[in-house]
Structure 1
Amino acid sequence: MLLNSRPRPRLRTLRHRKAALLASAVSVCLLAATAPAEPLGVGDRLFPYLGNPGYDVASYDLSFTYSGSNDKPLQAVTTIIARTTTDLDRVNLDFAHGTVRSVQVDGRPAAFTNAGEDLVVTPDSPLPAGSRTRITVQHTSDPVPAKDQDGGWVRTSDGLAMANQADAAHLVFPSNDHPSDKAMFTFRITAPKDYTVVANGLPAGADRDGDTTTWTYRTQHPMATELAQVSVGRSTVLHREGPHGLLVRDVVPSADRKALEPWLAKTPDQIAWMESKVGPFPFETYGVLMAQASTGFELETQTLSLFEKNLFTEPALPKWYIESIMVHELSHQWFGDSVSPRTWSDVWLNEGHATWYEALYADEKENKPLEDRMKAAYGSSDRWRDSGGPPALPKAPAPGQKISIFRPGIYDGAALVLYALRQEIGRPAFERLERMWVRDHRDSTAGTDDFVRLASAVAGRDLSGFFQDWLYGAKTPPMPGHPEWKATASPKAAKGRARK
């Protein structure tokens, strides 16, 4: 059909259409104003307003435009595909650090307002239970942190990275920001052509348009929002092969490529070691992102763990311990990423296991006895329980310090629980349990009760009493096989760099 063969509408018709659209927008806004919007949550004990009920996210499509300055807001579009689990007049999204320009629900303009750290969206008609819906939010994403906010964008010396654990993905993009709602992700990041962009998953194109390039990445497995990662910087991406042909890609500052290579070369063997303990690597790729930033921690973002570059170039810790930290974040790919916590009170399952394999690696590879570390942890365990709560019942984060849930009790204290379990049921049963845990719950969420049930099934007896004492007791129970171990008030457990 020729372009000019279509009749041109009369001016009066155009005016009527504009008037109708304006009236529709006004009516939507009035509808939103009829009842006050409220922040919601999924009832997490530690973060009551995190996540939102009424829908399950299937996928996120995140588009960011980076100007070349990491102190200016990025222009962004977030598209969410979700299925409603109940009738919804409104949809609450977690979003707290950006300006929302417009919202559409299934292609139609929707009203929106803020309530606490929620973006409350009112579609022009209710969403029935069981329906598939598309929510598109045009917004900014601000890399400059607001007061009393932890996490989100991390400003590096040459760009940006992300650190969203535990309660910070919604400082970057609108989301259902709770690990119980995992989804697939697509990232589209436009940046000046002299920048390199890497995100979770596998690359799906890099399209040059004048002075900018748009990079696309897609995950092959569902992911919790807190594990999202986008790196924008003057970086080099290095590729090598891991076990069974696994693609290993690392992202490093270009100027430090040669100095960092000896550390990067260790990853394939570390993956092979972890596979010998718990089974096949659970994702499509892995690697480390060495960022020029001061975070004070490392982070297990899915398929691309975040590290401070200076940890490797200006080490204040012995080499064996740095390697064990690398294994800590690697092991999270199984424990915390592939098998995500159902609630944040289950975080001991993430950190206890990562600390366990960190310590076991140091024991087997560097002659740093596991038993010595566990005995030291036992000595401090009562003090940790008193200050931070028992491993599976951690105290709430301090006001304005959401990452303060990451206390010693869920690291070495939780690894101590695993050591006690191995002492209780024997090494063969324990190792079988570990493999079954990551196999049975791959790409899903699981909680403490699930672990107790599986451990009991593997052991062939009810272990609920054992776990009740070790996970919830105010005092540390006697250690099976080591009745001589004593808990003391002195901080004797292993100290080192913070890791998540």
Structure 2
Amino acid sequence: MDLLGSTSPARRSTPRVSPSRRRASAAAALVLCLGLATTAAGAAPGEQPDRAQPAERAQPSEQGRPVLGDDGAGDPYFPLAGNGGIDVDHYSLDLTYTPPEAAPAPLEGHLEGVATIRLTTTEKLRRFNLDLRGPEVSQVRIDGKRTRFAQVENELQVWARGLLHQGEEVEVEVFYEATTTRPTDIEGALYGWVTTRDGAMVVSEPDGSATWFPVSDHPTDKATYDFEITVPDGLVAVANGVLEDESSEDGWTTWTWDAPDPMAAYLATATVGDFELTTTTGPDGIPIIDAIDPALPPANSADLTRTPEMLEFFAERYGPYPFVSYGAIVDDDSVGYALETQTRSFFSVRAREGTVAHELAHQWMGNHVSPGRWADIWLNEGWASYSTWMWNEHDGDATAQESFEQVMAIPADNGFWSVVVADPGSLCLFCGAIYDRGAATLHALRGEIGDDAFFELAQQWVATYGGGTATTADFEALAEEVSGQDLTTFFDVWVHQPVKPTEW
């Protein structure tokens, strides 16, 4: 992510149905299952009605294994993000969205969704959770059969109809709807499904995906995705991956996207608006799909023409581009940041060259290799910021050494140096030090171990952990392995101490 306007960056499938049939099915589900968000779906005719159960923490079974999945993945910064007992393999999101009416009508949209989730249990379970915050659920099915559920705080609790054994593969369908507004994260920044006059801006770092679909919302539970997004004719729905189909019926257009590469939930998007789609071909035949708001002047997206050069530049340093496509969304909604949404980076109002490089580098560093804990976010932002330093040098601007010296010119008593880069706290995920001190750490490491070992480390990092997650400890260990050096003091000084490094 980039915070724009600051001196440093901060911040497979189920059978398809036609839009009309899908809306009819969703409507039928609502008729069958009306009720409060905290109550369970009703029973089928002749069955005993299901009842929502009170919230419970995981308890041991007779065999010593939990039968209630934990309500989080164990991240201390976001205790309710992610879920225990399950590993999601694939999300198929079938969404129908009605944007707000013109002003002065309220800035509220309406979202109807059916999420079909393929998951594998990682322990014996009677109940598991999904993250969901805002939408109201009308019905849940497991392998086609309706089952009990409840909504509590950040969680959708789902009861199996019987005991699920470890390693069991199940398909979960969740029918839901929401009046969409403009949710904010713990720092007050807009994120998740952000309603706009012409559609929606969907950018979810760190835990905003739960505002628009039921999800295991932590980077350690990556999955593949496909999307069917139905919007009024004239609007464009842009998601991750490649565009598979566009079809219109009865005043609605359905946009079908396929994202077959493992993806952390916060990187998923389903942005809707007045966009012009263009597709070009990048190095090695990579499709570059851009969605540009035509209300913006051409200069605001002109720097995207450098994308093919940047793809080649970073591939030489980090290895082959890891996904099926790339591209950008440039929207006219002034929210003040950019985000590295996987395969389709998002830019608010303008895609500036340095930010274009930053978000593209994230596709390797942050998207392909994601943080094992949110405390490790410097490995996302430090690498992306250092990538921009290297691109600037390549492009004839300031050298990486000059950028490093600018950081080191910050006085030792400046609060910038008080951030512990490897453990900044949940309210400092996007502090300047995460970006610039993170980048300076990498430049100092390059000087410590030499260019050959440094770029070998970069490629090994991507090759070893790509498609998954990794931590600061993993990075330190790999750096020592590749360089053959003891780097304990180096990393202690640079990422574990809240003081300005002076020697290492």
- TM-score calculated relative to the size of structure 1: 0.83
Q: Is the CA contact 1:143–1:152 (under 8 Å) kept in the aligned structure 2? A: no
Matched, 1:273 2:313: yes
Specify the alignment match of 1:63 in structure 2.
Answer: 94
Q: Which secondary structure state, in structure 1, belongs to the residue aligned with residue 158 of structure 2?
A: strand
CA distance in 2, matches of 1:238, 1:388: 45
Specify the alignment match of 1:24 in structure 2.
Answer: 47
Task: Decide whether aligned partners of structure 1 residues 367 and 131 sit closer, same or farther in structure 2, where only a CA change above 3 A counts.
Answer: same
Q: Which secondary structure state, in structure 1, belongs to the residue aligned with residue 164 of structure 2?
A: coil
CA offsets, 1:11-50, max 9 Å, x none? xxxxxxxx98346352x316x2596899721111211221
Measure how far apart 1:258 and its partner are.
4.5
Matched, 1:89 2:89: no
CA distance in 2, matches of 1:36, 1:227: 29
Specify the alignment match of 1:390 in structure 2.
Answer: 420
Task: Decide whether aligned partners of structure 1 residues 272 and 323 sit closer, same or farther in structure 2, where only a CA change above 3 A counts.
Answer: same
Which one has a larger percent helix, Structure 1 or Structure 2?
1
CA offsets, 1:143-184, max 9 Å, x none? 303577641013344211211000111011110000010000
Q: Is the CA contact 1:158–1:292 (under 8 Å) kept in the aligned structure 2? A: no
Specify the alignment match of 2:365 in structure 1.
Answer: 335
Sequence identity percentage: 33
Q: 2:443 aligns with which of 406, 419, 425?
A: 419
CA distance in 2, matches of 1:20, 1:145: 34
Q: Which secondary structure state, in structure 2, belongs to the residue aligned with residue 418 of structure 1?
A: helix
Q: 1:302 aligns with which of 325, 335, 342?
A: 342
Q: Is the CA contact 2:140–2:147 (under 8 Å) kept in the aligned structure 1? A: yes
How do residues 347-496 of structure 1 correspond to structure 2 at under 5 angstroms?
A: 347-380=377-410, 389-397=419-427, 404-479=428-503
CA offsets, 1:426-479, max 9 Å, x none? 122111111111122221111112211111111112323321232111223325
- TM-score calculated relative to the size of structure 2: 0.83
CA distance in 2, matches of 1:379, 1:473: 18
Specify the alignment match of 1:3 in structure 2.
Answer: none
Measure how far apart 1:414 and its partner are.
0.8
**1:412 aligned partner, one-letter code:** D
Specify the alignment match of 1:318 in structure 2.
Answer: none
CA distance in 2, matches of 1:265, 1:35: 53
Measure how far apart 1:97 and its partner are.
1.2
Specify the alignment match of 1:6 in structure 2.
Answer: none
CA offsets, 1:223-269, max 9 Å, x none? 00000011212211111121112111110123447555632322111
Matched, 1:74 2:111: yes
Task: Decide whether aligned partners of structure 1 residues 352 and 383 sit closer, same or farther in structure 2, where only a CA change above 3 A counts.
Answer: farther
Measure how far apart 1:142 and its partner are.
3.9
Specify the alignment match of 1:137 in structure 2.
Answer: 174
Specify the alignment match of 2:155 in structure 1.
Answer: 118
Measure how far apart 1:276 and its partner are.
2.3
**2:74 aligned partner, one-letter code:** G
Q: Is the CA contact 2:295–2:332 (under 8 Å) kept in the aligned structure 1? A: no
CA distance in 2, matches of 1:249, 1:135: 31
Task: Decide whether aligned partners of structure 1 residues 384 and 97 sit closer, same or farther in structure 2, where only a CA change above 3 A counts.
Answer: farther
Q: Is the CA contact 2:99–2:110 (under 8 Å) kept in the aligned structure 1? A: no
Q: Is the CA contact 2:55–2:152 (under 8 Å) kept in the aligned structure 1? A: no
- Aligned-residue Cα RMSD (Å) equals 2.4
Unaligned segments of structure 1, at least 5 residues: 1-18, 313-321, 398-403, 481-500
Q: Which secondary structure state, in structure 2, belongs to the residue aligned with residue 415 of structure 1?
A: helix
Q: Is the CA contact 1:385–1:474 (under 8 Å) kept in the aligned structure 2? A: no
Aligned length: 444
Task: Decide whether aligned partners of structure 1 residues 383 and 187 sit closer, same or farther in structure 2, where only a CA change above 3 A counts.
Answer: farther
CA distance in 2, matches of 1:231, 1:173: 14
Unaligned segments of structure 2, at least 5 residues: 1-41, 59-67, 101-106
Matched, 1:42 2:73: yes
CA offsets, 1:382-419, max 9 Å, x none? 5577776311111232xxxxxx4211121001111111
Task: Decide whether aligned partners of structure 1 residues 20 and 62 sit closer, same or farther in structure 2, where only a CA change above 3 A counts.
Answer: closer
Q: Which secondary structure state, in structure 1, belongs to the residue aligned with residue 254 of structure 2?
A: strand
